[in-house]
């Protein structure tokens, strides 16, 4: 049985804590945005970087911001903010797994904010001619946040 404290922390059974951890972890491993181009090429934006399958190209988020920072459009600058929000959520759920101390509201807020930033990345990318972005991360992060929030009392 799960008990809920005033701070929103949960003392759920170990399996439930591990399941919540896996949900949040995999939400960060999945592509957050899929960008398609009129030429037919595609790029996947992850929390850790960019992946283009043809020709194969991997650019880490650190390379992107520390090597290719000149002339970046403003909408892409929210990407690292989204990663920071996601890391807050991951830290919260990890704390629940390891120490039985998680404020689910903080975990959910991190996921919601990360999803919001990816919506802005997709919007900014899609307004350019010949480009479309699909905010998969927004849907995924918000779905996990909703599940965690509404299942916290069970």
Answer yes or no: are the C-beta atoms of 3 and 16 closer than 8 Å: no
Residue 103 per-residue DSSP state:
B
CA dist., res. 59 & res. 71, Å (int): 17
Q: pLDDT digits over 26-50, tens only?
A: 999 999 999 999 999 999 999 999 9
Give the pLDDT of residue 14: 64
For the chain, give the percent of residues with pLDDT over 70. Answer: 88
Give the pLDDT of residue 9: 47
CA dist., res. 50 & res. 41, Å (int): 13
Domain boundaries, the chain: 15-30+72-153
Q: What would the mean pLDDT of 9-28 be, rounded to a whole number?
A: 80
Which has more pLDDT, 121 or 73?
121
Average pLDDT value for the chain: 88
């Amino acid at each position: 049985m799960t008990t809920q404290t005033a701070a929103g922390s949960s003392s759920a059974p170990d399996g439930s804590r591990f399941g919540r951890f896996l949900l949040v972890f995999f939400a960060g491993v999945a592509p957050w945005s899929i960008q398609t181009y009129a030429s037919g090429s595609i790029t996947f934006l992850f929390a850790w970087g960019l992946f283009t399958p043809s020709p194969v190209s991997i650019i880490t988020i650190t390379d992107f911001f520390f090597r290719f920072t000149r002339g970046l459009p403003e909408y892409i600058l929210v990407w690292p903010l989204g990663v920071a929000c996601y890391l807050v959520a991951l830290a919260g759920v990890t704390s629940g797994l390891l120490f039985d101390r998680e404020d689910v509201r903080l975990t959910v807020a991190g996921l919601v904010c990360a999803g919001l930033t990816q919506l802005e990345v997709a919007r900014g990318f899609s307004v350019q001619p010949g480009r479309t972005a699909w905010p998969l991360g927004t849907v995924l992060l918000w779905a996990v946040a909703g599940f965690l929030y509404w299942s916290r009392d069970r």
